[in-house]
Structure 1
Amino acid sequence: MGKRGEAFLKIFGAVYREYQDTLGERLDFEDMVNRATALVESGRYEIPFRHILVDEFQEISAGRARLIQALMTQNAEARIFAVGDDWQCIYRFAGSDIHIMRNFGREFGGVFAGHTGVHHTVDTGRTFRSVDKIALTARRFVLCNPAQITKTVVLAGEAEHPAIQIAGTRRDTGEQVLDDSLKALAAEPAQPGRKATVLLLGRYRFIEPDMRSLRRRHPNLAITFKTIHALKGLEADHVVLLGADSAHSHQ
Structure 2
Amino acid sequence: PESAQPENAKPERAQPERAQPASLFCVGDDWQAIYRFSGADVSLTTGFRQYFGPSSQNVLDQTFRFNDRIGNTATQFVSQNPEQISKEIRSLSKADKPSVSILQCEVNTKSNDFLLHQALADIDSQVRVKGRAQHTKQVSTVYILGRFWFQLPDKETLKKLNQQYPDLQIRSLSIHAAKGKEADYAILTGMSQGQHGFPASKVTSPLLEALLPVEETYPNAEERRLFYVALTRAKHKVYILADKNQPSPFVSELMGPAFDVEIVKCA
* The two structures share one fold, judged by TM-score above 0.5: yes
Describe the SS at the equivalent of 2:161.
Answer: helix
**Alignment correspondent of 1:146:** 82
- Higher alpha-carbon Rg: 2
Aligned: 1:240 with 2:176: no
Mapping of residues 57-206 of structure 1, within 5 Å: 77-109=21-53, 118-169=54-105, 173-188=111-126, 189-191=129-131, 192-206=136-150
Residue of structure 2 aligned with 1:231, choices 155, 178, 199: 178
Offset, 1:217: 2.4
TM value normalised by structure 1? 0.62
Task: List structure 1 runs of 4+ shifted beyond 4 angstroms.
Answer: 169-172
Separation in 2 of the partners of 1:162 and 1:214? Answer: 26
Separation in 2 of the partners of 1:100 and 1:186? Answer: 43
Separation in 2 of the partners of 1:190 and 1:228? Answer: 28
Describe the SS at the equivalent of 2:117.
Answer: helix
Question: Which range moves more in the overlay, 192-201 or 173-182?
Answer: 192-201
**Alignment correspondent of 1:54:** none
For residues 71-119 of structure 1, the C-alpha deviation after alignment (integer angstroms, 9 at most, x for no partner) is xxxx68433111111112121211111112111111001xxxxxxxx21
**Alignment correspondent of 2:239:** none
Given that 1:99 and 1:147 are in contact with CA atoms closer than 8 Å, whether structure 2 keeps it comes out as no
Answer 1 or 2: which has greater strand percent: 2
For residues 106-155 of structure 1, the C-alpha deviation after alignment (integer angstroms, 9 at most, x for no partner) is 1001xxxxxxxx21111111111222211111111111222221002122
Separation in 1 of the partners of 2:82 and 2:142? Answer: 32
Separation in 1 of the partners of 2:109 and 2:39? Answer: 33
Separation in 2 of the partners of 1:80 and 1:105? Answer: 12
Aligned length: 171
Describe the SS at the equivalent of 2:63.
Answer: coil
Separation in 2 of the partners of 1:216 and 1:174? Answer: 20
The AA in structure 2 aligned to 1:181 is A
Given that 1:171 and 1:250 are in contact with CA atoms closer than 8 Å, whether structure 2 keeps it comes out as no
The AA in structure 2 aligned to 1:222 is Q
Offset, 1:171: 7.9
Unaligned runs of 5+ in 1: 1-47, 51-74, 110-117
Question: RMSD across aligned C-alpha pairs, in angstroms?
Answer: 2.4
Offset, 1:205: 1.1
Residue of structure 1 aligned with 2:168, choices 217, 221, 232: 221
Separation in 2 of the partners of 1:171 and 1:207? Answer: 18
**Alignment correspondent of 1:57:** none
Given that 1:87 and 1:148 are in contact with CA atoms closer than 8 Å, whether structure 2 keeps it comes out as yes
Residue of structure 1 aligned with 2:152, choices 184, 208, 213: 208
Mapping of residues 20-35 of structure 1, within 5 Å: none
Separation in 1 of the partners of 2:47 and 2:194? Answer: 32
**Alignment correspondent of 1:58:** none
Offset, 1:190: 3.7
The AA in structure 2 aligned to 1:136 is N
TM value normalised by structure 2? 0.58
For residues 40-63 of structure 1, the C-alpha deviation after alignment (integer angstroms, 9 at most, x for no partner) is xxxxxxxx9x9xxxxxxxxxxxxx
